[in-house]
Structure 1
């Protein structure tokens, strides 16, 4: 509103430090509620702090950085989303299609919604969108291969995970998880997930932070020790029922599959019933996906040699014959196997300790025990229902394994459920940030959010508490967007956390450059070889007086500083989430919510500064060495202690 001719007069006013155009503000028709709940504006404002030199200031929006999103996409909605201001502009986006297909061919809106959420948090960033396609493509295993190649490309690695140059993206957001393809101990265990785990670790080594969803399986998971007993064909006892006349527990060999509690009728007599809907979203209730894994993972010397069979069974009504009014039971009621997973595990090459099965129930699977449930749903179109369960049979004599069962349809819950240790892969990897979910919708919690702890070596029950929690932290879910209406699960929490990580990295780059510029005032010959390149490796411009050894070390130190900045960012996120007001549990190590809720406040600036001087960054590759600091300046360790206390509020 100031006339151009008066700008110099305004600039000369005592209270004016600078005159510049206002930051561009994206006018979005729909911003995820998680943006405000995370107090993202508090984080954004740190970029304009008076502590930051004027030329380095700028409200944090991800500018100058790149985030990679690995997911499935739908091409038909992209133009509409861009027109509405909900997606990054085409010039700021690179779209990488899956092998053999066009980008977004599967019309999967999941990735569209993830991108929409992340763009709400980091509208100034560049985006690399990797479409990994759908699981049932014409190329077997293509989705897994596409995922691995996406990680490698984003991190700028070759097919052998060797560094090709600076990473193409600093943050990877991956709201995808698999179950039963790894031991659950943080490693791939020489199983089918090996390529993904190795690519993620190599990406971290090249300065890339991978943020993944913890999974949505806490309500649809069971684990336990395999039932002992000699011989073969030993059925798993999920939990002995009331004692019989002899005082012994009656084995329960069927783990009944129910609806999650939110979908049940409220009438206890129908709790075991799965309603059959002919079409629409509720038709998904008929779909059963089971995944079993056990602690016999391949090593360098052995393959899986313990054999288990996974069965889906249904309750079958008695078959009765009527002979002139005399009814005779021809076939008694009981459990009938309708599908099984029965691969051979005999120690041969390629034998893996897992079984999977899929089954879609038909009206022929109905039982009279569920016939009356239709009236329990007013206006229901359900055509009765069926009762289903899971049975696990050990076929080899040797037992002693730890079993993990996942129901892939998260609308289903096993009667014997175990919420702990329900992480998907690669959420258990130490090289990722695994994100749990906290619902923003009143009256609807996120109990489904997968949780730790990570299993013991080889996928056994852990015997000691881990010193770090999994998931690592928690963010918000059940948020609105144009792509899918409401998005929930850790799929929605992950892009919130990934976007906040990108802004946090942007601020750490500001702080690092602020410190590195101090070294520019000292002749390079008086500095150690890494400190002499402090500013060079952050700006890309080699200082004119750099020594030959400093120039030769440029590539190595650039990579080192990329990793240092990622490490500092991760420590900061954990510190912010771990503050007392962000803790969601009284436990110091919480395997439900991690360190806590990723939510910023006015003290967060001290968390950043604490990690700048943290002992974990003792090499301090972007700081002036302590011995060169001016007389009277505070020692780094003292700065860390002060800022840490300010961060925590102590």
Structure 2
């Protein structure tokens, strides 16, 4: 058994001399303390076959290990009945969340179960000290559910959403920061995760952080009317625009090229540095600067919803007029504008800030429908697939109509081209948990992958599924706008390729409305696929590029007429759109703004003429 290894590993034969031959034979070796100490049993993943040191029959024992490679190890099969085979990752088996702790997201329970299964209590304080197969398995579980691990593997990062007055944290947890919305970003020692969850259950909602996704898959300035403003000397002067994004890599190079000014302000709420991570925010800022070069720019880096909430407080304190947010948030509501992220938008707009939001690029990466199970096998009848190459990343988000907490329990499974179970999310929803499942995985094979959804308990509900990186088959374009673009207060921007701007159609990936509660969205359209000077974003496709065109024009309008209220500014933007067709595709239409122009002089009337020498 694996839990014996800490006591006996130094009495076992080091199999390193046979490693290459054993692996070529198909034997999966188990390593402990830097040594290959045994072969994983195909029929029992929690045990290994090992050879004792100084055994008189050591040679025969090693030959037996070669025999293990000849044993047929069937891939985890696709489901044929109501009970799926659990996912196996090295020495651990990913089973259904067992504890059902009130208010605790099931993914955290599964990670705690995996830790308890792979590492006996007190064996290691940090993941870096664990055997390599254990490290790989635990980090895979954390990544699959989007649970941030510290770089050294000693802790996890969680969000505590207090239901009342915040209380002291238990089990070695430490609060990193707290937002005005009652959210605490907390680090918990990985070795004490189970104790922390048990001690906090029922006191707060505890989950992994929501993670924003850049909505990206400069000819646009003149298309939206910026040139006419510039001709009248209107540049956005006196207006403050914040770009809230996940990274501004290449910022210094952009400033050196003259694509961004040195006068801009930066603020990093992640603690990782403004220029680490993505180039995305830099490309967004370049578009705004191209349109409104006189505006004051604030580049703000975030990594989760706690950062976002704190960023809004900062924007309010700095007198920011406009926020551009070209990020999407998934599994934070039923795509109806409610929830934590929607509330953060409302806090900004209540302070008079215009929130310009990318509508999303998910028209072909989204499916929705009611759970239908005509053969009563417990699985969704609709077979959902996508095609990908080996090494690609896959990120799937599933939610259903049961917000904010539910007892209807669905599970999400991803099967590879050969029928192998590649990833699964089997959280337990017992009445105090959010209705969400999520998997993230690096795909092992090229081919067609199958997504299966099982109803573990409860009744049939309407489902929403998003695939962030691959197009789904079949896909449903309608209602594909992620948060916070589905909030009424956010000005959601669809995308039209710049070279088809006057004729259309909308970009095939541009997310469509209506919202989950039936409201029309997006609000308007702007060009994308425009040029920036930023690596990976030349050209820059996606609604991420469309939104900053609107933010820039909004700055010009406000610079021209500083007395405009938020409501008036929003109305003026929408009034300067040209209708293109379906409002749930284009909103009010493509933005073609124009300045009001100088106030004309009154007509000159000559009433009398006289002459004096």
Pairwise TM-score range, normalised by the shorter structure = 0.5 to 0.7
Unaligned runs of at least 5 residues, structure 1: 1-31, 49-58, 134-142, 157-166, 189-193, 239-253, 259-273, 277-282, 317-334, 366-384, 457-461, 513-563, 610-650
- Can you list the C-alpha shifts for 1:15-61, whole angstroms capped at 9, x where unaligned? xxxxxxxxxxxxxxxxx11001112122345xx4xxxxxxxxxx211
- Give the distance between the partners of 1:397 and 1:121, measured in 2 at CA: 52
Taking the TM superposition and a 5 Å limit, the aligned residue runs for 1:447-596 are: 447-456=508-517, 462=518, 466=519, 469-484=520-535, 485-509=538-562, 512=563, 565-577=565-577, 582-585=578-581, 587=582, 590-596=583-589
Distance 2:253 2:344 in 1: 34
SS class of match (1:395): strand
Give the structure with the larger strand fraction: 2
Q: Match for residue 257 of structure 1? A: 386
Please name the residue that 1:178 is paired with. Answer: 329
Count of aligned residue pairs for this structure pair: 377
Q: What pairs up with 1:192-341 in 2 under 5 angstroms?
A: 194=340, 196-228=341-373, 234-238=378-382, 254-258=383-387, 274-276=388-390, 283=391, 286-298=392-404, 303-316=405-418, 335-341=419-425
Give the whole-Å Cα distance in 2 for the aligned partners of 1:73 and 1:498.
Answer: 19
User: Alpha-carbon deviation of 1:420?
Assistant: 0.4
CA contact (8 A) 2:270 2:301 kept: no
Structure 1 residue 483, shift from structure 2 partner: 0.8
Residue 83 (structure 1) shift? 2.0
State the shift of 1:144 in Å: 2.1
Provide the C-alpha distance between the structure 1 equivalents of 2:381 and 2:373, rounded to a whole number of angstroms.
9
1:61–1:123 CA contact under 8 A, matched in 2: yes
Deviations 1:447-468 (A, max 9, x none): 1011110112xxxxx4xxx4xx
CA distance in 2, matches of 1:80, 1:345: 48
Q: Aligned equivalents of 1:397 and 1:71: distance in 2? A: 38
1:289-333 deviation digits (Å, cap 9, x = unpaired): 1110100112xxxx21000011111232xxxxxxxxxxxxxxxxx
Q: Tell me the distance in 1 between the aligned counterparts of 2:499 and 2:378.
A: 45
1:78 aligns with 2:251: yes
Distance 1:444 1:199, change over 3 A: closer
Please tell me whether residue 605 in structure 1 is matched to residue 596 in structure 2: yes
Rounded Cα–Cα distance in structure 2 between residues aligned with 1:151 and 1:230: 50
Alignment of 1:80-95 (within 5 A): 80-89=253-262, 92-95=263-266
- Deviation digits for residues 60-101 of structure 1 (CA, Å, limit 9, x no counterpart): 1111111000012345x2232112110022xx3211012332
Report the secondary structure of 1:154's partner residue: helix
The superposition leaves residues 511-563 of structure 1 with CA deviations (integer Å, 9 ceiling, x where unpaired) of: x4xxxxxxxxxxxxxxxxxxxxxxxxxxxxxxxxxxxxxxxxxxxxxxxxxxx
Distance 1:99 1:304, change over 3 A: same
1:434 aligns with 2:524: no
Pairwise CA distance, 1:172: 0.3
| Counterpart check, 1:36 vs 2:222 | yes
Aligned to 2:364, what secondary structure does the other structure show?
Answer: helix
Give runs of aligned pairs for residues 351-366 of structure 1, distance below 5 A: 351-362=433-444, 365=445
| TM-score (norm: length of structure 2) | 0.59
8 Å contact from structure 1 (residues 97, 104) kept in 2: no
Identify the residue that residue 240 of structure 2 maps to in structure 1.
66
CA–CA separation in structure 1 for the residues paired with 2:281 and 2:456 = 41
C-alpha distance in 2 between matches for 1:444 and 1:451: 13
SS of the aligned residue for 1:149 comes to helix
Q: Within 2, Cα distance between the matches of 1:392 and 1:481?
A: 41
Contact kept? 1:230, 1:397, Cα under 8 Å:
no
Shift of residue 565, structure 1, vs aligned partner: 1.5
Following the alignment from structure 2 to structure 1, what is the Cα–Cα distance between the partners of residues 458 and 574? Answer: 46
Unaligned runs of 5+ in 2: 1-217, 600-613
- In the aligned structure 2, how far is the partner of 1:150 from the partner of 1:234? 44
- Corresponding residue SS for 1:117: helix
Contact 1:152 1:199 in 2 (8 A): no
User: Following the alignment from structure 2 to structure 1, what is the Cα–Cα distance between the partners of residues 409 and 257?
Assistant: 54
Query: Is the 1:180–1:404 contact (alpha carbons within 8 Å) kept by the matching residues of 2?
Result: no
Give the corresponding residue for 1:125.
Answer: 295
Q: Specify the SS of the correspondent of 2:440.
A: strand
Is the contact between residue 68 and residue 129 of structure 1 (CA under 8 Å) also seen in structure 2? yes
SS in 1 for 2:568: helix
Instruction: Report the Cα offset of residue 228 of structure 1.
Output: 5.0
What is the CA distance between 1:566 and its match in structure 2?
1.6
Matching residue of 2:49? none
The structure with higher relative contact order (CA 8 Å, sep 6+) is: 1
1:146 aligns with 2:307: yes
Could you tell me how far apart the structure 1 residues matched to 2:253 and 2:413 are? Answer: 45
Tell me if the contact between 2:412 and 2:451 (Cα under 8 Å) persists in the aligned partners: yes
1:185–1:78 distance in 2 versus 1, CA, 3 Å: closer
Answer whether contact 2:269 2:311 (CA < 8 A) is retained. no
Structure 2: how far apart are the matches of 1:144 and 1:600?
Answer: 33
**Shift of the alpha carbon at 1:441?**
4.5
1:379-438 CA-partner distances (Å, limit 9, x unpaired): xxxxxx322111111111422x110000011xx211111000000100011111011000
- TM-score, length of structure 1 as denominator length: 0.55
- Do 1:293 and 1:354's aligned partners in 2 also have CA atoms closer than 8 Å? yes
Aligned residues of 1:508 and 1:569 also touching (Cα < 8 A) = no
The alignment status of 1:187 with 2:338, answered yes or no, reads: yes
CA distances 1:108-166 after superposition (whole Å, capped 9, x unpaired): 11011111111001111111110114xxxxxxxxx22112211221123xxxxxxxxxx
SS of 2:565 mapped into structure 1: helix
SS of corresponding position for 1:479 = coil
Distance, in Å, in 2 between the alignment partners of 1:476 and 1:336 is: 42
SS of the counterpart of 1:424? coil
Which stretch shows the higher mean deviation, 61-70 or 97-106? 97-106
How many angstroms apart in 2 are the aligned matches of 1:483 and 1:78? 9
Q: For 2:443 and 2:351, locate their aligned partners in 1 and report how far apart those are by CA, in whole Å.
A: 47
**Residue of structure 2 in register with 1:393 after alignment:** 454
2:280 to 97, 110, 121: 110
What is the distance in 1 between the residues matched to 2:452 and 2:247?
36
